[in-house]
């Protein structure tokens, strides 16, 4: 008969074998996440157009809003990385 192993030993073996890699086939749409990242004042005034070559293209309503989003660009990219979206840059278009 086989020897019975303790649950903590089994869990250690399983957890050591599991790698925490970013999910490349994510089921979350960036346009849904985009509105959650922004302040309430900015939400209705910009939206995601498309993704291309690890860049995110965002349509912006005005040049004032463009300036505000450029200031917040690094923070937005960091928040996206935390969620699992890895972009090199965000391009804001008027």
| Per-residue pLDDT tens digits for 31-56 | 888 888 888 888 889 999 999 999 99
Domain boundaries, the chain: 23-93
**Residue 88 phi, psi (nearest 5):** -75, -35
What local confidence, expressed as pLDDT, does residue 31 receive? 86
In the numeric block, which tokens belong to residue 24? Answer: 């490349």
- Please provide the size of the chain in residues: 94
pLDDT (0 to 100) of residue 18: 62
Neighbour count for residue 53 (Cβ, 10 Å): 7
> What is the Rg, in whole angstroms, of the alpha carbon atoms belonging to the chain?
20
Cα separation, 71 vs 59, whole angstroms? 16
Summarised one tens digit per residue, pLDDT across range 51-81 is 999 999 999 999 999 999 999 999 999 999 9
CATH dotted code for 23-93: 3.30.300.180
Helices (H), the chain: 7-17, 30-37, 63-71, 73-83
Structural contact between residues 30 and 47, judged by C-beta atoms closer than 8 angstroms:
no
């Amino acid at each position: 008969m086989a020897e019975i192993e303790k649950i903590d030993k089994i869990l250690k073996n399983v957890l050591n074998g599991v790698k925490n890699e970013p999910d490349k086939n994510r089921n979350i749409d960036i346009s849904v996440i985009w509105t959650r990242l922004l302040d309430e004042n900015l939400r209705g005034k910009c939206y995601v157009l498309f993704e291309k070559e690890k860049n995110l293209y965002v349509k912006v309503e005005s040049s004032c809003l463009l300036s505000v989003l450029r200031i917040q660009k690094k923070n937005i990219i960091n928040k996206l990385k935390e969620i699992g979206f890895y972009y090199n840059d965000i391009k804001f278009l008027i």
